[in-house]
Amino acid sequence: MLATSVSDPALPPGHAAEPKWDGWRALLSRDAHRLILRSRRGTNLEPCFPELRASAAQLPDATALDGELVVWDAAGRLAFERLQGRLQRRGADALRLAEQWPAHFVAFDLLRLSGSDTTRWSYSRRRAALENLFTDHRLTAPWVLCPSTTDPATVREWLTNWTAVGLEGVVYKRLEGKYEPSVRGWRKYKARETEDAIVGAFTGSPAAPRTLLLGRYNTDGRLHYVGRSTTLPQTAGRAVAGLLTPAGDDHPWRGWTFSAGWGSRESLHVALVEPELVVEVSVDVARDGAGRWRHAASWHRARPDLSPADVPVVEPGAAG
């Protein structure tokens, strides 16, 4: 089942809210004592996550769950980048990664219970059965029960405090709603925040840049790449062009290769500029371990009134 994005964070009447995790959506079932784990696109993930296979006996047979695969780092923050590369790992490599950065399956919906199809049940009934499943079978890590609430104050707390550890937002589900595959019957709200960053390069025409590559300085003075903007409106691109200065030979990013997107092997053709212009962008809370924004930043406005020294710094040692 899918969700439609909404701009209002308020909990709608007749709905429950669940945290939106920064991980991989996955469907899991245990049938004839065999674990089946697949991505939304149908990719077989079971060989990549031996830590789940080793704990599958905790689950009752003929049971299916919808949920999110996540990894927490040592600081207790969701570490999406630790999931990267798992699709290419099998055997000993997968075992090594499972031991170093164990994944958890955060279950948020129940699709089948001991052979009974539950998708036609209301969300309230499915949720109660899911909670009983965790209680009755005393499920422990790597199995995690996703929180659920009908309390608006709890939703506000999640959006205020939990985003610091990588929570992306919240998902709203109608209490009387059935589970309908491929139907966008849920709502999702992504937490966003406004940030300042320094333009270090751009793609597209010098007369009207298409996207901006953004950075912040480390406290040790190194310009750290933090992410790329979405496509600029034409008027914004033309306005920004007049505020950019082509880079000299000493640009800190000279010789770097930039990826076209998260997990993409395609490289961008970029033009370096002097890191002087500050811009304001809107970003969600998804970060990698080096502090980079995992999703494109939405253009807000140029800030020629600010200097790079006015932009918050990132911690020393962050990757460039």
Single-letter code of the amino acid located at 318: A
Cα separation of 283 and 163, whole Å? 12
Concerning whether 20 is annotated as a catalytic residue, the answer is yes
Cα separation of 207 and 56, whole Å? 57
Cα separation of 48 and 87, whole Å? 6
User: Could you say which DSSP state residue 178 is in?
Assistant: -
Contacts of 229 (CB under 8 A, 6+ apart): 211, 212, 213, 214, 279, 281, 296, 297, 298, 299
Cα separation of 297 and 188, whole Å? 19
Residue 94 main-chain phi, psi, to 5 deg: -65, -40
Q: Which residue in 20, 173, 188, 190 is the catalytic one?
A: 20
Q: Where do runs of H (alpha helix) occur along 246-291?
A: none
Closest to 198 measured CA to CA, from 310, 293, 98, 114: 310
Cα 151 from chain centroid (whole Å): 24
Cα separation of 242 and 109, whole Å? 52
- As annotated, the active-site residues are 20
